[in-house]
Amino acid sequence: MAQKITIEPVTRVEGHGKVTIHLDDNCNVVQSRLHIVEFRGFERFVCGRPYWEAPVLVQRLCGICPVSHHLAAAKAMDVVVGAGTGHGLTPTGEKMRRLMHYGQIFQSHVLHFFHLASPDLLFGIDADPTVRNVVNIAIQHPELARQAILMRKYGQEIIAATAGKKIHGTGAIPGGINKHLSSEERDAFVNGIGGNPDLSISKMIEWAEAAIALLLDHHQKNAAFLDSFAAFPSNHLSIVRKDGALDLYHGVIRAVDSTGNRIVDDVDNQEYLDIVAEEVRSWSYMKFPFIKQLGKEQGWYRVGPLARLNVCDFIPSPKAQQAFEQFRAYSSGKPNNRTMHYHWARLIETLHAAEVMRDLLHDPDLQSGELVTKGERREEGIGIIEAPRGTLFHHYRVGEDNLIKMCNLIVSTTNNNEPMNQAVHCAAVDQMNGKAEITEPMMNAVEVAIRAYDPCLSCATHAIGQMPLEITLHDAAGAVLDQRRKNM
């Protein structure tokens, strides 16, 4: 009997999503889809509000990456207030924002690796779920867990110091930033927060290097799985600095195909609508972006750490550059199309973020200098940033009355919509084809494929008691064959 398996929602993925896998009469996978309920009301909600509120308002979207939305909106509003399209800010304004952004990248990547990915990697995707978690990491690898906690805390403190507070930060404003970093704050970040040398920038760099070494050691022992699981060719898109360097805060739009041919050649970010379009599919609430010139079928692309390292020419910090060279050499200088290598790329970016923070913390522009610049008022602004999960587009039009009259957002997870569907299908075919019984490890394999992209479905709230996991098995006629539910 043909079957449809539904996993709803996906565990350890933000918000609400479900996976449906259709099996034929022989239990072969014939179709796999990831359904995500994307929140679209926000764009209407922000219309009618004064433009200067946008950098704070947009943080309501997400409790996971509010800093990315905060900065993308601020960058768009920089254009509106005539502060230019990326490099028009004062040195202090741009560097304070960069410190905030790289602090966010650092803590977000650390969380993903240690909390979400490492249990799968270190215990295996077929391990019992009661031991495949971060608490068991603390039991089996206590030093690793302690480091992860302190690295997260370090990044959070950087955000609080630059954004002003943990929730709904106000640091970035149209045209710049609203505060300096005090010399006391700088000294604490350099030498150790609260006098704790384990909370110093040198420790962050040391531990980020150690994390890469851990992953490479794991890779050496499990190369067959990590190289083949949910691997598929794709295009890759990100912003890069004009000289081709990795730059997560600002740059031009570049894309390469699966073999490395340049398909979008360093386009100004204000021209993104010439490059990217979005397709609506009847079975999903989330749109499917694609590169216009390649069309809907061929134009989909990956974003995020893997894509960024495939697109850039080099990393402008020495230790991360060294790691990058090893990463690129593994795929003979060509784009790396292996889904599980997102984890490797993410850790290289973690090291880069730590090196960038170190350099910024030693820059005197953070303690003095003009905070804000403004110029000729414009009615439209676009802000693009590389958020932890990938490229994030914010686009606004503002009326003469200073009220926002149009807002369009393409968030990182939306950019990765088709790649995540491809990954789900690869994992389903690999793990479930010809199997008469669906097991927990098989279900988890599908989730592992999705988790590599670190998706964030921003509409989620986190009240106690919500979001149970439901697994439903349907036959060809749609009748429920089996249903399991567990609290999360």
Which listed residue (130, 220, 282, 332) binds other proteins by CB under 8 A?
130
SS3 48: coil
Which 8-state DSSP code applies to residue 198? G
Residue 66 within binding range of other proteins, rule CB under 8 A? yes
- Beta-ladder partners of 409: 394
Distance in Å, CB of 463 to other proteins, minimum = 4
Kindly report the backbone phi and psi dihedral angles of residue 392, in degrees, each rounded to the nearest multiple of 5, phi listed first: -125, 125
* Contact between 60 and other proteins per CB under 8 A: yes
Element (DSSP H or E) covering residue 29: strand 29-36
The residue within the footprint of other proteins, chosen from 21, 23, 96, 111 (CB under 8 A), is: 111
Judged by beta carbon, residue 148 or residue 177, the one nearer other proteins is: 148
Q: Which residue has the tokens 């097991």?
A: 439
Nearest to 374 by CA among 240, 228, 176, 215: 176
Per CB under 8 A, which region of 164-172, 321-329, 342-350, 375-383 contacts other proteins? 164-172
Q: Binding to other proteins by residue 355, rule CB under 8 A?
A: no
How does DSSP assign 419-459, residue by residue? HHHHHHHHHHHHHHTT-SS--HHHHHHHHHHHHTT----TT
Contacting range for other proteins; rule: CB under 8 A; set: 108-116, 237-245, 352-360, 400-408? 108-116
Is residue 129 within the footprint of other proteins (CB under 8 A)?
yes
Size of the site for other proteins (CB under 8 A): 53
Residue 367 and residue 187: Cα distance in Å, rounded?
Answer: 11
195 contacts other proteins (rule: CB under 8 A): no
Residue 133 engages other proteins in binding (rule: CB under 8 A): yes
456 binds other proteins (CB under 8 A): yes
Contact 81, 175 (CB under 8 A): yes
Q: Quote the CA–CA distance of 227 and 225 in Å, as a whole number.
A: 6
- CA 223 distance to own-chain centroid: 24
Q: Which is nearer to other proteins, 63 or 316 (CB)?
A: 63
Q: Residue 64 interacts with other proteins (CB under 8 A)?
A: yes
User: 450 vs 12, 18, 94, CA distance in Å?
Assistant: 10, 11, 34
**Binding of residue 295 to other proteins (CB under 8 A):** no
Minimum distance, C-beta of residue 467 to other proteins, in the bound complex (Å): 6
Which run of H or of E encompasses 382?
A: strand 380-387
Nearer to other proteins, 84 or 129 (CB): 129
Part in contact with other proteins (CB under 8 A); list of ranges 63-71, 236-244, 342-350, 358-366:
63-71
Q: By the 8 A CB rule, do 311 and 240 touch?
A: yes
Q: Quick one: which of 224, 280, 436, 463 contacts other proteins (CB under 8 A)?
A: 463
Give the shortest CB-106-to-other proteins separation in angstroms.
13
Extended beta strands in 211-363, E state: 235-240, 252-256, 262-267, 276-279, 288-291, 301-302
Q: Does 168 interact with other proteins (rule: CB under 8 A)? A: yes
Q: How far apart are CA 54 and CA 34, in angstroms?
A: 31
Exactly one of 2, 22, 63, 322 binds other proteins (CB under 8 A); which one?
63
Q: Which residues fall within 8 angstroms of residue 391, CB to CB, at 6 or more apart?
A: 237, 238, 239, 303, 384, 385, 410, 412, 415
Q: How far is the CB of 45 from other proteins (least distance, A)?
A: 5
326 Cβ contact list (under 8 Å, min separation 6): 216
Question: Which of 2, 127, 134, 245 is close enough to bind other proteins by CB under 8 A?
Answer: 134
Whether residue 406 contacts residue 294, with contact meaning beta carbons closer than 8 Å, is answered with no
User: Smallest gap, in angstroms, from Cβ of residue 153 to other proteins?
Assistant: 4
> Binding mask 412-451 vs other proteins (x if CB under 8 A, - otherwise)?
----------------------------------------
| 115 lies in the site for other proteins, by CB under 8 A | yes
Binding segment for other proteins (CB under 8 A), chosen from 10-18, 177-185, 421-429, 471-479, is: 10-18
Chain centre to alpha carbon of residue 51: 26
Shortest reach from residue 468's CB to other proteins, in Å: 10
Least gap, CB of 44 to other proteins (angstroms): 10
Q: Is the dihedral of CA 96, 405, 38, 275 positive or negative?
A: negative
Q: Is 465 in the site for other proteins (CB under 8 A)?
A: yes
Q: Which positions lie near other proteins, rule CB under 8 A? A: 11-15, 39, 41-42, 45, 57, 59-61, 63-64, 66, 111-112, 114-116, 129-130, 133-136, 138-139, 142, 145-146, 148-150, 152-153, 156, 166-168, 456, 460-467, 486-488
